[in-house]
Chains A and B, each alone.
Chain A
Amino acid sequence: MKLIIFAGPPTCGKTTVIRQVIRRMLKKGHKPAYLKIDVLYADEDKIISEEFGIPAKKLYSGELCPDHCNVVVMDEAVEWAEKSGSDFLFVETAGLCLRCSPYIENSLGVVVLEATSGMNLPYKIGPMLTLADIAVITKIDLISQAEREVFRYRVIEAAKEITVVESNALYGIGIDPIVKHIERSGEIEQPMFLRGNPPVGTCTICVGKKEIGAKNHFGVLRTMEHDLFYIGE
């Protein structure tokens, strides 16, 4: 199983990029599954399952921090994708908090950034960008060649090792390089660990327990099937 985690500020074009990627993956004979994690509302799972007929699911993190939700359910999510006969799991995160990153070791972390979002964005979003493997810059048709080049430079300055892909996802431009990276990415290894170090905090993940799965945590939790519950003293 290959795990591809997409993060990025809301409305930056994550779903559009994922749809174009899934379309090409299917043409190449891959079997992708899709999981959307959002806070209050999402209909992307329906859109994706209707468009492509692939296993698709959504989870509302609700009262939980969405990245926290991501951590406590990802083991089950991988199991679900395996059971549904998929070989790739695409996870689209809500991308709200900029202190943690949702990427897991041995997954492929993809951050999606809008070219129109201002030259300081790369410096503002922290680990969501710096711990990602690929930065996809979307909506490049809306800005000039000169600004594209400067924005790209700022992204690389914030995250030196990152691979930058520029894309106009609406028209499917710049998608093939992303697909290539996804195909080349490694298999997920169990047990899974969160990439990077979370910020100082008071929940199990915030204090540094990086093991994936609700069974490894206490406090306020949830699973794929069960809404919030509490484990602990």
Chain B
Amino acid sequence: MSVLRELGESFVSFLRILGDMALFLLRLVMYTPRGLLRFRLVVHQVHNTGALSLVIIMISGLFVGMVLALQGFDLLARFNSEDALGTAAALALIKELGPVVTALLFAGRAGTALASEIGLMKATEQLSAMEMMAVDPMRRVVLPRFLGGVIAMPLLVAIFTAIGIFGAWLVGVVMMGVDAGSFWSQMQANVSGDEIFEGVFKSVVFGIAASLIAVYEGYRAWPTAEGVGRATTRTVVLTAVSVLILDYMITAALL
């Protein structure tokens, strides 16, 4: 019986967190129009989450594209269809790897930073101090970070994907000798606007999910050193799992 009760309790607490997070998102969305007026704060956060993630995103994108081309070449060469390498690499990057890998990197690089920053502000009672000065920490601290993440994510995905295709070209065309003309023309013949849209749509959804989880975990963290640490860990785990689940759902819906 106690197992059942524990299961029920954890399910109830899961529902509570889910509901709390949904209400949190609703509040953020309601504050968004006025939050965008304080543009400088948002720009600062786009810099923190986006510009500072550039290097890791670009290096990862390059190598993901390169390994994709290497594996793809090996596989396609068995069917004598190396010419399809451009299509295979571009579709995989645009539709799946770009958004998903970027979201996972984003959780590790920017999500943890957001969660621990907000959590530490809470632990050191900076948020309470703001409330005492009649400054709403939701609007002053949480909202700009959330918006910064939401804006940065699609741009990061686009950069990751473009660099990835460059990496695939580097390995496929320059190293393995696939014909450059068919590499690009096959890609252009087979990639349509729908696929680009799928990638951009995914990146927007993942951006909202990853940023929401990060700021939520930070804001709801226990105000202790241990609590902040747990919030950071939970951010990465929750983001990874929810991004992968969302990815499946979006793919199934758009296919």
The answer to whether A and B assemble together is no
Q: Measuring CB to CB, which residues of chain B are less than 8 angstroms from any residue of chain A?
A: none
